[in-house]
Amino acid sequence: MQALQTLTWNDTWYLAPEIVLAAFTIALALLDLSLPRRIDRDIIGWGAVLGLVTAGVFVGWHIHDLGAWEKAGESPFRNLLDGSYRVDDFGNLLKLVFLGASALIVLASLGTVKKEEVPIKGEFYYLVLPAVLGAMVMASSGDLITLFIGMELLGIASYILVGVRKSSGLSGEAAFKYVVTGGTASAFVLYGMSFLYGATGSTRLSGIAQSIGDAVEGSKALVYVAFFLMIVGFALKLALAPFHAWAPDVYQGAPTPVTSFLGVVAKAAAFAMLYRLFVNTALYAYADTAQVREDLFLALAVLAAAAMIVGVAGALRQQNAKRLLALSGVANAGILLVPLTLDITSFHSSLFSEFIYYLLAYVFMNVGAFAVLTVVSRETGSEELSGFAGLYHRAPWTAAAMTALICSLAGLPVTGGFFGKLFILFGTVQTKQYWLAAILLFTTVVSYYLYFSFIRQMFMRSGDTERQTKVPMATGLVVWICAIASVALGVLPKPILEWVDGLFSVSLDFLSR
Amino acid sequence: MDITFAQYAWFAPLFPLAAFAILTAMGRGLGRAGAWVATAASLLSFLLSLLIAIERLGGTAEDYTGRIEWLRAGSIMLHAGYEVTNLTSLMLVIVTFVALLVNLYSIGYMKDDERISVFFGYVALFTASMLGLVLADNLLTLYICWELVGVCSFLLIGFWFRKPEARAAAKKAFIVTRIGDLGLLLAILLLYWNMPNHALDFTSLYNVFHSQSDTLSASLTTLIALLIFLGAVGKSGQFPLHVWLPDAMEGPTPISALIHAATMVAAGVYLVVRTFDIFEASQAALAAVAIVGAFTAIFAAVIGLAQNDIKRVLAYSTVSQLGYMMLALGAGSTAAATFHLFTHAFFKALLFLAAGSVIHAIHTQDIREMGGLGRRMKITAWTFGIGALALSGIPPFSGFWSKDAVLAAALDESPWLFAVGVVAAFFTALYMARLFFLVFFGAPRGDAKAYAHAKKSPAVMTVPLVILAVLALLAGFVETPWNEWLGSWLSGEEEEGGINGLVVIASVGASLLGLYLGWLFYGRRSSSGNPAAEKASGLRRILERKFYVDELYELAFVRPLAALGRGLDAFDRVVVDGAVRLAGRSVQAAGKLNTRLLNGQIQAYALCALLGAVLLILAIAGRRFW
């Protein structure tokens, strides 16, 4: 047993983004308490955006520093707290995604959240920050315990966010279901982690990596149980089929910005954790573990395939836009899982770029689509698909932006969604997982039908009213950022891929200690 | 020499593209102002092109290539780029200049159309795509723009979509040119597979095909050249894919001038010039180009004799003149072809715009109902006359010099080609004389009321006519037998001048004879004679039916294809649709099952998850123990 290494003064610099978020949370909570009632809480929302952006700037700074170290021949990562927390390019990239997506979501919700619906608007805004903090901890952990703490921080903050529409019965039901499911998932993950600790004698990922070969030799069953329990937990968190049943209910009940947060940030964080667990533990480094590895990745691939099929099939008959997007999120989680499941032995180095590229495309198309949904539901008072009817006549610009977002969701050229799916498809073919490629193609084609129901409503149906829809400025801005980014990703896929490839390397980010 | 403007060449297509975006986005809100937006954009492009051309006139400017890597996926790498050479800068000037004048002219011509902003949007999109085509530094970019101009052509031919003829013509143009496009696509694919490094840019093509290395076998080279030529045949209306071009005259007349006379149809010629290195490597391909070109030149000229629609006469004339350009290419002279393309752009745009001015005035296109318009529309008549003389190849008009160059090149290659060219020149002069005298001379034959109302066209329409007339008169002097400036500028090599008396005498003689006969038949008699009295002889009927090519196509392709189509349709409905319906139903059924599972009970969800987990573990881990 090593002596515990405590936080040093030097370390705080590496933790700057996390510290900024924590500080902003406290400051905004105090501000919310001390401000008189009559002052609109949107100011807290702007504060939250500022906090997220500030943290993002620090992350960017770290990325730059790490790059400079790498050039200078130093190892481009830092282990803090005896390796239980690590600052590396993998974590930093994902943190940028979390922060950017959250900033867009909060920005989009400014002006669209009604006081009658959310009486505690202040809390609504500043609770996003600890949730993102949790996600960031998950992305940066080097230890099972830190991972779990990050997951719980994210989870508990989001349980509250889901239930924030206090007067709505749906919201309460959603929050309850989310707490139960989230708790179950945490239990599965924790149970699995404890088995892993039992088998390897370490909670540190690097420690696990060192002794997992022996552990497999010693008690293979234990390792199987550990990983399968964790897989089930994550599948619940990620809403992969058949663990997805809660998702439509929770997404529907939650306020739309929170739905967007659950669909994008919470999912991305779970993926970050999966990568840490499955790649950092170096499961593939030993000949002994080949069989276990093969089985586990096959299980993940089966889950990905099931999610793609069930998500698309379930969404086909949905009339509620939020439930539809929730099930589309199930299918997309399946797609995002595919790169991780690809054969790691013949490691094709673009694995992570494929993932992060599609994740980026997914962030933009989802945040944008949900922002449009906020505008529409605010105007028509309904979250049904039919609320989009005749949007082209009421708000032609928003309809145009939504069309770009839908094209990205459906995976039509030239959008980020198209290239994202294409790169993942290339990956499956390269590693000869033809059955996954076939399922990816088939579900993509079927999904055209469901995404085009939006287009059909917007352009070919007439709405009840011809009155121009009012789009709040901040929301409109987010819609356009997302639409333009979705197209830009498709027009210029190369710079982004190269940037990610340049930053990330498996050996440095996951294997070096 | 410094390269200043050439690096910004990519702005040239961006201006009209921006105009297209603005017009599409703001559309009806802009109303007539939209026309000026498009015109301003084309003016900017023209000024930029002019600056680029002037910069290159200095003579020593290096070719400039700008390129970005567009996409790399594994070993597949695609570039997008542009290249400024003397040839492309010349084409830039032609395209932007004609586009500018046509925009200006259309402000007058289209002013009563309620979809005027849509019209100008399409024109702007076309201009942008055409400039992209001209600037492209590789075949893929060129192909994308090639398809885009095809789409614009389709949209503009069918612009008056309420007319069934316009719809049919648009469809025909699209389908017929697609046959050619398929050839081009196959050629690009063949090149992609066989070129070193999958390179598709023109510089690499030059290096590979010029070095006489055996990278590609001779038969493959011929195949590729012929496939590229098939694309050119479709786009440039060469026999046997010429049938769409006369029908395309259903579109608004300014479009006929811009797309179907001066620019897009010349894209085929431009394509062959751009890829000429491939053609030079294959004698057979060159011979095919020459023969198709010569045949088209005379074939279309003869048909032009018997058409009664002013625009269709001009359309067949365009087909015939494009045939001349192909003939020059087949004879190995890109300079002559480019030169003829250059002068033809001006005088044919002029003729179309003048014809449009006539149509605008009396609202008919049938020359049998015209006559005597020269007295009412002086500017139109004069400028049309200049265009007609230029087209007929009378010195010193521009068409004389370029046709002379084409015929000289043909004579170098083979006396037969030369003879065909001279005979075609005779027919050209004859049908132009017929057209001119029937329209502008004699007594009015049509509706007297329409004639009385015929008034001069507004200045926005006549000014472009005058500018084009001046150019139709003077543009030929850039390359004369004494001073082959254009040719040397394009090729970068000094070319020796020299006058071939035989060529000049034969071509001018043929043209003068044609004009004289035309005057004899239609000019002198026209005061009393009625063109309807022209005897409907058997030959005439054949000409009027355009050698029955359309009917032949109907019999040979359309009907069998329709029958095949019906058969395939049945197959499609029973077998393919059945499969699709089955897939659809099963997905729907899965969806139903899913909805039933999502009944809102969280206990059910948990059960579902638990069952899933157990199944997963049993299936994956369990398979090891069986």
Chains A and B form CB pairs within 8 A to the count of: 87
User: What is the C-alpha separation between A127 and A140, in angstroms, rounded?
Assistant: 21
- Shared domain check, B528 and B387: yes
Q: Which residue of A has its CA nearest to B612?
A: A242
Alpha-helix residue ranges (DSSP H) falling in A319-433: 321-341, 351-380, 391-394, 396-410, 416-430
State how far the Cα of A400 lies from the Cα of A235, in Å rounded to an integer: 35
Angle at which helix A220-238 crosses helix B602-622, to 10 degrees, equals 140
CA separation for the pair A356, A340 (Å, rounded): 11
The minimal CB distance from A317 to the residues B592, B608, B624 is found for B592
Chain A contact for B609 (CB, 8 A cutoff): yes
Type of residue at A266: A
pLDDT value for A4: 61
Q: Which has the closest alpha carbon to A306: A234, A239, A406, A229? A: A239
Residue that terminates a domain, selected from B137, B155, B185 = B137
Pairing of strands B64-73, A85-87: unpaired
B45 domain-assigned: yes
The total number of structural domains in chain B stands at 3
Residue at B463 is within a domain: yes
Do A191 and A157 contact (CB within 8 A), yes or no? no
Distance from CA of B618 to the nearest CA of A (A): 11
Which strand (E) or helix (H) includes residue B261? none
- Asked if residue B17 belongs to a domain, the reply is yes
CA B143 to chain centre: 13
Residue B448: exposed, middle, or buried by beta-carbon count in 10 A (0-12, 13-18, 19+)? exposed
Structure tokens at B284: 């057979």
Task: Look at the block and give the residue holding tokens 């006396």.
Answer: B415
**Per-residue pLDDT, A343:** 62
Q: Is the ipTM of this complex over 0.85?
A: no
Give the per-residue pLDDT at B523: 66
Instruction: State the pLDDT at residue B112.
Output: 77
The larger pLDDT score, comparing residue A224 to residue B494, is at A224
DSSP state of A320: B
DSSP of B133-156, one letter per residue? HHHBSBHHHHHHHHHHHHHHHHHH
Asked if the C-beta of A77 comes within 8 angstroms of chain B's C-beta atoms, the answer is no
A219 contact residues in B (CB cutoff 8 A): none
Whether the per-residue pLDDT at B565 is higher than 70: the answer is: no
- What's residue B116's pLDDT? 79
Contact B595 A180 (CB under 8 A): no
- Domain assignment of residue B344, given as a range: 335-365+379-532
Instruction: For residue range A374-400, list pLDDT tens digits in order.
Output: 888 888 877 888 888 888 888 888 888
**Quick one: pLDDT at residue B535?**
46
Question: pLDDT of B188-233, one tens digit each?
Answer: 888 887 777 777 777 777 777 777 666 677 788 888 888 888 888 8
Residues of A in Cβ contact (< 8 Å) with B79: none
Q: Are residues B395 and B512 in the same domain?
A: yes
Q: How many CB atoms lie within 10 A of CB A468?
A: 11
pLDDT number for residue B65: 72
Query: B503-512, pLDDT tens digit by residue?
Result: 788 888 888 8
pLDDT of res. A100: 92
Shared domain for B595 and B459, answered yes or no, is: no
Give per-residue pLDDT as tens, A114-164: 666 667 778 888 889 999 999 999 988 888 999 999 999 999 999 988 888
Residue whose entry in the numeric block shows the structure tokens 């586009």 = B99
Do B498 and B567 lie in one domain? The reply is: no
The domain limits of chain A are: 14-511
Q: What is the DSSP string of A169-202?
A: HHHHHHHHHHHHHHHHHHHHHHHHHHHHHHHHS-
Count of positions (residues) in chain A: 513
A282 φψ region: left (φ > 0), alpha (ψ -120 to 50), beta (else): left
Instruction: Point out the residue among B595, B611, B616 whose CB comes nearest to the CB of A317.
Output: B595
CA A438 to chain centre: 25
Do B506 and B446 share a domain, yes or no?
Answer: yes
Residue A149 pLDDT:
92
Which chain A residue has the Cα nearest residue B72?
A: A494
Q: Cβ contacts (< 8 Å) between B600 and chain A: which residues?
A: 249
CB atoms closer than 10 angstroms to residue B68: 11
Rounded (10°) CA dihedral A367, A373, A375, A379: -170
Q: What is the dihedral of CA B392, B394, B396, B399, to 10 degrees?
A: 20
Residue B12 lies in a domain: yes
pLDDT surpasses 80 at A401: yes
Q: Would an 8 Å CB–CB cutoff place A150 in contact with chain B?
A: no
Residues of B in contact with A315 (CB under 8 A): 591
Q: Give the Cα separation of B103 and B119 in Å (integer).
A: 10
* B16, part of any domain: yes
Give a yes or no: residue B262 inside a domain. Answer: no
With b for 16 or more beta-carbon neighbours within 10 A and e for fewer, the A376-406 pattern comes to bbbbbeebbbebbbbbbbbbbebbebbbbbb
In a domain, B165, yes or no: no
**Residue B557: how many CB atoms within 10 A of its CB?**
10
pLDDT in tens, B95-153: 888 888 888 888 878 777 777 778 888 888 888 888 888 888 888 888 888 888 888 88
Q: Say if strands B64-73 and B76-84 run parallel, antiparallel, or are unpaired.
A: antiparallel
Q: Is residue B239 part of a domain?
A: no
Length of chain B: 626
